Amino acid sequence: MMKKSNFIAGILKNKCPRCRKGKLFKNDNPYQLKRVLDMHGNCPVCGQRTELEIGFWYGTGYVSYVLAVMFSVFNLIWYWLIFGITWRDDSIFHWLIANGIILTLSMPLLMRLSRTLYLTFYVGHDPEAETRKQKESVLS
Ligand SMILES: [Zn+2]
């Protein structure tokens, strides 16, 4: 149970999937839009490469699409519960507009989240990674 919550917290906080400690992004604030996708080349804690190969991040397009759909469903549910949606009036259009605004405002977060998720598909958790890197730097 504990492990699972660490796993999810690591993704939500955009942590390196290998050590779950290092930050993937250089700037903590995703709303500085010029630097939203500014990443460390290697995890500052364990040294894990972030862009595994040239063009690696192109695959995140699909991830962010799925995230946007899931997020829209979530918005639909709470909007429905709070404001109600029927076919008899304009409420569905109001939801569409609200959802569009929320999606646009969340885009920097979703873009980062999709990169972190995508890297997590490829890189497994390795709790020893940090100590190993420290040993290596002592030896060299
Ligand atoms: Zn790391």
33 Cα: distance to centroid of ligand 1 (angstroms): 24
93 Cα: distance to centroid of ligand 1 (angstroms): 44
130 Cα: distance to centroid of ligand 1 (angstroms): 7
pLDDT at 35 over 80: yes
For the chain, the average pLDDT equals 93
21 Cα: distance to centroid of ligand 1 (angstroms): 6
Query: What would the pLDDT profile of 49-85 be if each residue is shown by its tens digit?
Result: 999 999 999 989 999 999 999 999 999 999 999 999 9
10 Cα: distance to centroid of ligand 1 (angstroms): 11
Neighbours of ion ligand 1 (CB under 5 A): 16, 18-19, 22, 43, 45-46, 48
Give the orientation angle of helix 60-83 with respect to helix 91-122, to 10 degrees: 140
Among the listed ranges 2-6, 50-54, 122-126, which one has the minimum average pLDDT value? 2-6
Task: Note the pLDDT of residue 110.
Answer: 96
126 Cα: distance to centroid of ligand 1 (angstroms): 9
Which pLDDT band, with edges at 50, 70 and 90, does 89 fall under? very high
Which residues are bridge partners to 49 per DSSP?
Answer: 42
118-125 long-range contacts (CB < 8 A, ≥24 apart) are 118/56, 118/57, 118/59, 118/60, 118/63, 119/17, 119/24, 119/50, 119/52, 120/11, 120/17, 122/52, 123/16, 123/17, 123/18, 123/48, 123/52, 124/17, 124/18, 125/7, 125/17, 125/18, 125/20
13 Cα: distance to centroid of ligand 1 (angstroms): 13
Cα distances (angstroms) measured from residue 81 to each of 32, 44, 69, 99, 108: 33, 44, 19, 14, 27
Give Cα 58 to chain centroid, integer Å: 15
45 Cα: distance to centroid of ligand 1 (angstroms): 5
pLDDT at 2 over 70: no
Which pLDDT band, with edges at 50, 70 and 90, does 139 fall under? confident
Q: What is the pTM of this model?
A: 0.88
